[in-house]
């Protein structure tokens, strides 16, 4: 949603580099991105609230530093969800999210099989294949290896069916990364089942941050383009969005709901819809984890205090 003109005017003030009226649910706040801590203090002192269309809304200063143009198709470090990536033999797709191996707890890149392997031209990748950021189509070379292919779910052709188009790659030693974070969305808070009619967001290499709503949560669909452009694979238990909010190169981006819970792994679409694998199927088949982040709300603080204070009292009593 475009920011109202009265908010845009705030950008003329020194130290303020961005304003936003986010729509992620909860209490409405105006985010004010500032260059320094001093700027953040000034915002809190001078404008704890701003008027938007005649309504007073609290401000939330965020120290971001200055913004510089950062294309998702460029080399980006630390690596983060929502940017270009791909097997060294493909064009480019999207790095969905950095997740954890359920057993080893190592950080892994999550994306589609057809992004991290090379299923399009008749062969699947091999374990250990180099994964580039950016993807080869965006100029990624052997100097841009960020991970090695670790696991993937083979795409089966009819009469067999599939649940996911998914793979993970192990991040190379020493590379800087942002775990569980997506460009323009931030940290995810866990996973959830998608519900019909709920709003979902994705952040992808080609179309950036876009949104739609869930139209269908249990579709069985034919998807073309595996092994050859005209052959198809059948996918069961799929999510369908009400609009085509992804495009070529967005494959691998994850769908999150308004609470920033991951609900799907985007991979395909038509002229009317986009499609995603249910995230629970992806997690089960790839043996990965996306931990739940407990958000403590102001209303929960009194309860938290009630839970902690007796323990502190007992601690002092013992000593």
Partner 1 sequence: MATILEAFNEARRILSGRPNVQGISYTSDRIIVYAISAEGIPTSILGFPVEIIITGPFRIY
What does the binding site for partner 1 look like in residue numbers (CB under 8 A)?
A: 93, 112, 114, 120, 165, 216, 218-226, 232, 238, 240, 246-251, 266-275
Rounded Cα distance between 219 and 87, Å, is 29
State in angstroms the smallest separation of the CB of 256 from partner 1: 17
Rounded Cα distance between 304 and 298, Å, is 10
State in angstroms the smallest separation of the CB of 220 from partner 1: 5
Tell me the Cα Rg of the chain: 22
State in angstroms the smallest separation of the CB of 252 from partner 1: 9
Q: Which residue's CB is nearer to partner 1, number 165 or number 170?
A: 165
State in angstroms the smallest separation of the CB of 258 from partner 1: 23
Q: Which residue's CB is nearer to partner 1, number 231 or number 284?
A: 231
Q: Which residues 6+ apart lie within 8 Å of 213 measured at CB?
A: 197, 198, 199, 200, 241, 242, 243
Q: Which residue's CB is nearer to partner 1, number 154 or number 220?
A: 220
Which of 293, 252, 274, 278 lies closest to 97, judged by CA?
A: 252
Contact between 194 and 278 (Cβ < 8 Å): yes
Q: Which residue's CB is nearer to partner 1, number 50 or number 155?
A: 155
Q: Which residue's CB is nearer to partner 1, number 231 or number 292?
A: 231
Q: Which residue's CB is nearer to partner 1, number 246 or number 283?
A: 246
Rounded Cα distance between 145 and 319, Å, is 55
State in angstroms the smallest separation of the CB of 224 from partner 1: 5
In the chain, the N- to C-terminal Cα span, in Å, equals 57
State in angstroms the smallest separation of the CB of 172 from partner 1: 26
Rounded Cα distance between 221 and 51, Å, is 48
């Amino acid at each position: 949603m475009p920011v109202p003109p009265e908010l845009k005017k705030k950008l003329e003030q020194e130290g303020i580099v961005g304003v936003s009226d986010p729509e992620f649910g909860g209490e409405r706040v105006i985010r004010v991105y500032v260059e320094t801590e001093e700027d953040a203090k000034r915002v809190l002192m001078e404008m704890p609230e701003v008027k938007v269309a005649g309504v007073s809304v609290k401000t939330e200063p965020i120290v971001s530093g200055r913004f510089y143009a950062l294309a998702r198709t460029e080399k980006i470090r630390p690596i983060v969800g929502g940017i270009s990536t791909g097997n060294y033999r493909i064009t480019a797709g999207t790095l969905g999210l950095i997740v954890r191996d359920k057993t080893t707890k190592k950080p892994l890149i999550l994306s589609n099989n057809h992004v991290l392997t090379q299923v399009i031209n008749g062969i699947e990748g091999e374990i250990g294949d180099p994964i580039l950021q950016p993807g080869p189509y965006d100029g990624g070379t052997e100097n841009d290896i960020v991970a090695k292919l670790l696991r993937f779910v083979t795409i089966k052709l009819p009469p067999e069916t599939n649940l996911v188009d998914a793979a993970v790659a192990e991040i190379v030693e020493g590379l800087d990364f942002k775990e569980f974070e997506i460009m323009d969305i931030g940290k995810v808070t866990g996973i959830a089942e998608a519900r019909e009619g709920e709003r979902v967001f994705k952040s992808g290499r080609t179309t950036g941050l876009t949104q739609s709503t869930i139209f269908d949560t249990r579709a069985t669909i034919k998807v073309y383009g595996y092994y050859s452009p005209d052959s198809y694979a059948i996918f069961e238990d799929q999510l369908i969005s009400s609009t085509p909010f992804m495009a070529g190169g967005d494959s691998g981006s994850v769908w999150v709901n308004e609470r920033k819970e991951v609900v799907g792994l985007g991979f395909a679409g038509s002229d009317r819809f986009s499609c995603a694998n249910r995230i629970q199927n992806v997690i089960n088949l790839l043996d990965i984890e996306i931990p739940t982040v407990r958000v403590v709300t102001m209303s929960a603080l009194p309860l938290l205090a009630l839970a902690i204070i007796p323990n502190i009292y007992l601690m002092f009593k013992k000593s």
